[in-house]
Amino acid sequence: METMWAPWRSEYINNNNDTEKPNNICVFCDALTTTDDHERHIIYRGEYAFVILNKFPYNNGHMLVMPKRHISRPDMMTDQERYEIMNLIVKAQIVLYQVYNPHGVNIGANIGEAAGAGIAQHMHFHVLPRWNADANFMTTVANTRVIPESLDETWVKIRKAWN
């Protein structure tokens, strides 16, 4: 592996802390302000955490589990948040097996923009169903993923199974 010496980058890296951007509205915090769960595709509201469908799913049934508080890292969570989030992740997995009968489930988090988080300011866990060979020819050849079900249809199925 080659190493590139670039000390001028340290200023950019040290000043690019995106955990709080006061001029931006967090889409997750904003979703919690509504009372219409169907409109925002909120599956469940707990005391400390909630579950929402991913607006840009990798597969149908792709859910996000996160604290209600606007925090960016797991070490910022309280014990109550950690406990409730883990229970919601397990419940989401169970519901996915009931609704979609997948071959497996991905559960994970990208903490920070450098780790691949699309919305790094409000940490969240992904829970999504997977099937053997779910990367079909469209994904392989055309670099395009086909999502055959609308978010509204997904919300109805998962919400019914959740309750």
Residues 131-157, mean pLDDT to the nearest whole number? 73
Q: Which residue has the higher pLDDT, 149 or 80?
A: 80
Active-site residues, by number, are 124
Residues 43-72, mean pLDDT to the nearest whole number? 96
DSSP type of residue 59: S
pLDDT of residue 58: 87
The b/e string for 77-91 (b: 16+ C-beta within 10 A; e otherwise) is beeebeebbeebbeb
pLDDT of residue 10: 53
Residues 91-117, mean pLDDT to the nearest whole number? 96
Q: What is the pTM of this model?
A: 0.81
pLDDT in tens, 51-62: 999 998 988 999
With H, G, I as helix, E, B as strand and everything else as coil, classify residue 95: helix
Dig out the tokens for 45 from the structure: 């509201």
Q: Mark out the alpha helices in the chain (DSSP H runs).
A: 9-14, 27-32, 37-40, 79-100, 137-142, 151-162
Q: How far apart are CA 76 and CA 73, in angstroms?
A: 6
Dig out the tokens for 52 from the structure: 């929402």
Dig out the tokens for 4 from the structure: 């590139």
Complete domains list, the chain, with CATH: 19-162 (3.30.428.10)
* Average pLDDT value for the chain: 85
The fraction of the chain above a pLDDT of 90, given in percent, is: 68
pLDDT in tens, 70-90: 999 999 999 999 999 999 999
User: Does position 15 have pLDDT exceeding 60, yes or no?
Assistant: no
- Nearest Cα to Cα of residue 87 among 104, 107, 102: 107
